[in-house]
Each structure stands twice: as structure tokens, then as C-alpha cells.
Amino acid sequence: MDRQRVYFSLANRTYYTNPYAGPWNFELNVDRQALDVFEKIFQQMQMLEIANAWRAQLPYIQYHLDRENDEIDLRLKKIYALVHEYGDADTKAFVEQLPYFNKRA
């Protein structure tokens, strides 16, 4: 598969093909299938956040017991795993120092 360089913004949950198109955190070399995966995970996170907005109206459900928050965290870990896979050496080093990164031997 042909890879293309994209500029990935985790905060904005998007990527750019032009580094001047918007703010970005990571420069990645990805194939089209990986971009589809990023987009799917972003969509899932958006839906979970909408569910969280409704849940926030129920004060008797504590935040740390909220399944949707755990699902968002899981998707964030998947995003960082993809960033690690398609990033350069500096990007990989950054992801590896994150507290939830578990490098397998």
C-alpha cells in the first residue's frame, strides 16, 4: 500500500495533508486503511461523548463508574497505538513514555 504523510491532531480529532492547514501534534506516514481506522475511532469517540453528555445530567452515577468514560479511554489508547505504529522515532519515544503504554518484549 502507498503511504502518505499526514499531520495528525489528537485534540481536534483530525488529520491534515498540509502541515499549514491547522494545528497538529504528530507527523505520520500512513496508508488509506489506517486513515479509515482513525476516522472510525474518532466517530466512536464522538458518539460516546454525546452519551456522556446525557449521563452527566444524572448526578447519582459517579464519574469513575461510568462505562462510557472507560470506552473513550480505550479508544484513546487505540489512537496512541496507531500513532506509535505510523510515527517516526521521536513519536514512538513519546508514546512509549506515556503511563499506559505497555511495551511487549
Provide the pLDDT for residue 73.
87
Provide the pLDDT for residue 41.
95
Q: How far is 95 from 57, CA to CA, in rounded Å? A: 34
Mean pLDDT by 10 residues, the chain (105 residues): 90 92 95 94 90 70 68 91 94 90 61
Provide the pLDDT for residue 105.
46
Give the DSSP per-residue string, the chain.
Answer: ---EEEEEETTTTEEESSTTSS--SEEEEE-HHHHHHHHHHHHHHHHHHHHHHHHTT-TTS-GGG-HHHHHHHHHHHHHHHHHHHHB-HHHHHHHHTSTT-----
